[in-house]
Amino acid sequence: MAPSLAWSWQRFADLGVDGVYDLLALRAAVFVVEQACAYLDPDGLDRHSWHLLGRDGGGALRACLRVVDPGLKYAEPSMGRVVLDAALRGSGLADQLVAEGLRRAGAAWPGQANRISAQAHLQRFYARHGYQTVGDVYSEDDIPHIQMWRPAPCPT
């Protein structure tokens, strides 16, 4: 059974100093240290994004992602910087994180598709959430990536 996280959805300016520190620390722990990838994480897009934060019962940030506003990275909103604390992987929380991010993005931008630049080894994971591969694998920060697109949900 997956541990439960309390989700919050905020614009960058509303995260506060501790929130920004926590998300940058978690992203650095995974993308820079664990994946041994030296890159500039603060890329200017965080300021133009919604941020989904998942905190445990003690208030520690254990999961996060951002959804970049449409027109900045791609024409569509773009989910990225999807991170789950290594200790929680395999618990089902990664699926909860992405599902919650898509739900919140759908509320922020109703009827819009979502486009991502996914690490290539995660194609099956994102396909479970409705993403389809677009184009060929390319290198981003020396890690194989693939562009993926999730069509807009059908109106009900």
Q: Does 151 reside within a domain?
A: no
Per-residue confidence (pLDDT) for residue 34, from 0 to 100: 87
- CA proximity to 115, closest of 130, 136, 125: 130
- CA proximity to 137, closest of 124, 119, 111: 119
Q: Does 144 reside within a domain?
A: no
Per-residue confidence (pLDDT) for residue 89, from 0 to 100: 92
| Contact assessment for residue 104 and residue 52, using Cβ atoms and an 8 Å cutoff | yes
Q: Does 147 reside within a domain?
A: no
Report which DSSP code applies to 44. S
Range of the domain at 72: 6-111
The whole-model pTM stands at 0.93
- CATH code of residue 16: 3.40.630.30
Q: Does 141 reside within a domain?
A: no
Per-residue confidence (pLDDT) for residue 76, from 0 to 100: 96
Question: How confident is the chain (156 residues) per 10-residue block, as mean pLDDT?
Answer: 88 97 95 85 94 97 98 96 94 95 96 96 96 95 94 77
Per-residue confidence (pLDDT) for residue 49, from 0 to 100: 97
Q: Does 104 reside within a domain?
A: yes
Q: Does 125 reside within a domain?
A: no
Q: Return d(Cα 30, Cα 10) in angstroms, integer.
A: 21
Per-residue confidence (pLDDT) for residue 8, from 0 to 100: 97
- In this structure, what token pair is assigned to residue 120? 């290539």
Q: How far is CA 150 from CA 76, 102, 134, in A?
A: 10, 10, 10
- In this structure, what token pair is assigned to residue 119? 């690490």
- CA proximity to 65, closest of 48, 88, 41, 81: 81
Q: Return d(Cα 53, Cα 12) in angstroms, integer.
A: 11
- Number of structural domains (the chain) is 1
Amino acid at 82: V
Q: Does 148 reside within a domain?
A: no
Q: Return d(Cα 114, Cα 74) in angstroms, integer.
A: 9
Per-residue confidence (pLDDT) for residue 141, from 0 to 100: 86
Q: Does 117 reside within a domain?
A: no
| Contact assessment for residue 77 and residue 114, using Cβ atoms and an 8 Å cutoff | yes
Contacts of 44 (CB under 8 A, 6+ apart): none
Q: Are strands 143-150 and 114-119 parallel, antiparallel or unpaired?
A: antiparallel
